[in-house]
Structure 1
Amino acid sequence: MGRAKEFDTESVLRKATAVFGAYGYEGTSLTVLLNELGIARQSLYDTYGTKHDLFVSALKFYIQQKTEAGIRLLNECTNVRQGMEQLFNEAVNVLTDEERRNECFIINSAVEQAPQNHEIADFIQANNKRMEDIFLDALIRGHKNGEFNHAEDDLPGIARFLNYSRLSLTFTAKSGASTEVLRELVRTTLRVMN
């Protein structure tokens, strides 16, 4: 009979997103990873497999958590424009918070890995499609409520633009942009809904 795990797997995945976000996939040594996660090498292998397997698990965990939060926010908002604004502003809040920002930077590491890794590329592509659909559903709801004057045919393109604008905030923050620049980008992005 195997020993029970002495760590919380969800907590380890959260920590792993921050470690990979801070150092990148290639820059994360196994020693740094184990020290930051606070687990033994054998526990890593027994629970997650290789460093790469842990990276993929952490990436999927992070993206699923963020996607579900976005879905809840946009589905529960009564005013779509305000819901979008809240979603984008929360992204800026996370990206400018020293405690939480490195988790977001795992996306940059994933983009680096995607050309060589079909599993990561397919997962990112599927999630982007899912987010576009979420944005589109919200835009259609807002259009029906009279919040937007755009032609209905324009809404899929606007949904795609909003999704990729959201993703670009991570790259922009990692590149060293100030909070003011990120907020300006959000204001400009949201004007597309006018």
Structure 2
Amino acid sequence: MPRPREFDEEAALDAAMAQFWSHGYEATSVRDLATTMGLTSASLYNAFGDKRTLYERALERYVERGFRDRVRRFEHHMPPRDAIGAFFDEIIQLSVGDPHRKGCLIVNSAMELAPHDKQFHRALNGVLKDIEGFFQRCVSAGQKDGTISSDLDTADMAKTLLASLMGLRVLARVNPQRALLEGAARPVLAMIGVNPNARRARRRI
């Protein structure tokens, strides 16, 4: 019978995600990963496969804990326009509160790996399509309940929100200042009637 694993697989995967997130794919060696995860190289390979496979699992974990968690919390428990505002609000808060300026692992992967790796390109394109789909569903639902103007093209607005979100994440790596990020998001969110400053004021009340 195979021996049970003598380590916390979830904690080890979190450690790998943190290593890739901080240092990138190419700059992270298997030795770095083994040290960070508290494993031998042999145990790492046995449990997670090669470096590429581990990166794919770490990225999927990041997406699940980040984007998909926000969808569950916001889309299914808030009015659609508020869900979009909350999504941007949380991204700005995370960016401002990141002292190491790690940015977004999705964006980091898109910049480092997607241009020259077809498999990662397809995987990341799927994630971006999912984010765009979230925005499109929210815009469409907001148009139906009257909180978002029906004059806006639903698909185009979803793409605009996606582009703004990705731009914010890149900008935050250089200058994660709240005023700058909110100012960059404000014109786009105003198109659907969201005021980031008003949201922050309501939280203080």
Indicate if the aligned counterparts of 2:135 and 2:161 stay in contact, CA closer than 8 A: yes
The residue number in structure 1 matching 2:191 is: 192
| Distance in 1 between residues matched to 2:100 and 2:9, nearest whole Å | 19
Moved over 4 A (4+): none
CA contact (8 A) 1:20 1:109 kept: no
Normalised TM-score (structure 1): 0.87
User: 2:162: which partner in 1?
Assistant: 163
Structure 1 letter corresponding to 2:49: G
CA contact (8 A) 1:24 1:106 kept: no
- Secondary structure of 1:26's partner? coil
**Matched-pair contact (CA < 8 Å) for 1:85–1:190:** yes
Conserved 8 A contact 1:81-1:147:
yes
Contact 2:106 2:124 in 1 (8 A): no
User: What is the percent sequence identity of the aligned residues?
Assistant: 28
Per-residue deviation, 1:22: 1.1
What do residues 7-33 of structure 1 show as CA deviations (whole Å, max 9, x unaligned)?
Answer: 232222222222112111111122322
Say yes or no: does 1:97 pair with 2:90.
Answer: no
Equivalenced residues, count: 193
Which protein is richer in helix relative to its size? 1
Judging changes above 3 Å, is the alpha-carbon distance between structure 1 residues 151 and 95 closer, same or farther for their aligned structure 2 residues? same
Whether the 8 Å contact between 1:136 and 1:155 is mirrored in structure 2 is yes
**Which letter does structure 2 place at the counterpart of 1:115?**
P
For 1:78 and 1:20, how far apart are their aligned partners in 2?
33
Shift in alpha-carbon separation, 1:66–1:100, aligned structure 2, 3 A: farther
Check conservation: 1:74, 1:138, Cα contact below 8 A: no
1:102 aligns to what SS in structure 2? coil
Q: Could you tell me which residue of structure 1 aligns to residue 142 of structure 2?
A: 142
Residues 18 and 103, structure 1, Cα contact 8 Å, conserved in 2: no
| Alpha-carbon distance in 1 for matches of 2:169, 2:179 | 14
Task: Give the distance between the partners of 2:100 and 2:73, measured in 1 at CA.
Answer: 19
Q: Which amino acid aligns with 1:80?
A: P
Spell out, residue by residue over 1:86-142, the C-alpha distance to the aligned partner (whole angstroms, 9 max, x if none): 111111222233379637345313431112222211111112112212211111111
- Name the residue aligned to 2:201: none
Q: After superposition, give the CA deviation of every residue in 1:55-88 in whole Å (9 maximum; x if it has no partner).
A: 1111122123323223213422442222211111
Structure 1 unaligned segments of length 5 or more: list them. none
Which residue number in structure 1 is paired with residue 198 of structure 2? none
> Structure 2-normalised TM-score?
0.83
Matched, 1:10 2:4: no
